[in-house]
Amino acid sequence: MAQRSLMVVTGGSSGIGLALARRLRERGTDLLLVARGADRLAAAGRALACDTLVADLASAEGIAALGERLAGVERIPVLVNNAGGPFRRPLLEHDPDEAREAIELLYLAMVRVTAVAWPGLAAARGSIVNVVSVAGTVSTGSAPHYAAAKHAAIAWSRGLHVEAAAVGVHVLTANPGPVATAAFPHDRLRGHRWLRHTVIDDTRCADTILRALERRRAESYHPEWWRAATVAQAIAPGAMARLARRSRAKFG
């Protein structure tokens, strides 16, 4: 028997994904959380009384498992693409395996998840939230493979926003700045007198993403003032590079 409607959150066992899932669940909707870590995912599913699926979305097997789960779903009002990981190895170590893994999880997983969810999204004239990062537009010199994959994800998400609108599907490209989560605790930033103000928690991030979604915005920054940094990157890349070098020397 087909399931009429289901919202889907990938990377939903912790951090921004779990915070978004909590807010969506408060609306009384049926919800599916997808993540790699079975224990944390099970705990999140119990807390929210929702369905879960253990799947590595960087693998063909994980995508196939998600496709099988969604095959009987008629409508997907919201898909949140949030699966991620840190990928902190320096570029000068020339590790092609980490580069490939970052692209697979942070970019291609979004493409593949959206493809398997597309029939339900189109039927619902639903919304896609692609949780990317300001790291995709502002060069900081940290977690470089992560940043490179996020660059790709942002370009794809922006293009999808244009094409999906033709069939009534809305796409939001959400760009959080530093968000304190298990994967990215940002301890050094939070310990700095001034820079601690650049870090927000996952609940605040989720709330501002959902407000942007309700307003059907094409792109959002969290906090919003990060948009100014992306403009500065575009018009003064040399100055931003010098700032990044100084920041990296101080904070690593």
Copy the structure tokens of residue 47. 């807390």
Q: Which residues are catalytic?
A: 146
Owner of token pair 């601690």: 196
**Between 226 and 61, the higher pLDDT residue:** 61
State which amino acid sits at residue 39. D
The DSSP 8-state label assigned to residue 107 in this structure reads I
Q: How far is CA 224 from the centre of its chain?
A: 16
Let me know how many helices (H) and strands (E) the chain has, helices first. Answer: 10, 11
Give the pLDDT confidence of 90-146 residue by residue, as tens digits.
888 889 999 999 999 999 999 999 999 999 999 999 999 999 999 899 877 678 899
Query: DSSP readout, 157-197?
Result: HHHHHHHHGGGT-EEEEEEE--EE-SS---HHHHTSTTGGG
Which numeric CATH code is attached to 3-251?
3.40.50.720
User: Mean pLDDT over all residues of the chain?
Assistant: 90
Domain boundaries, the chain: 3-251
Return d(Cα 78, Cα 54) in angstroms, integer. Answer: 19
Return d(Cα 51, Cα 62) in angstroms, integer. Answer: 16
Give the pLDDT confidence of 208-245 residue by residue, as tens digits.
999 999 999 999 999 898 899 899 989 998 988 888 77
pLDDT (0 to 100) of residue 11: 96
Give the pLDDT confidence of 159-186 residue by residue, as tens digits.
999 999 999 999 999 999 877 776 666 6
pLDDT (0 to 100) of residue 41: 97
Q: What angle (nearest 5°) sits at the alpha carbon of residue 227, between those of residues 236 and 102?
A: 85
Q: Which residues contact 108 (CB under 8 A, 6 or more apart)?
A: 58
Q: What angle (nearest 5°) sits at the alpha carbon of residue 212, between those of residues 211 and 217?
A: 150
Is residue 76 within 8 Å of residue 8, measured between CB atoms? yes
Is residue 57 within 8 Å of residue 66, measured between CB atoms? yes
Backbone phi, then psi, for 222, in 5-degree steps?
-140, 105
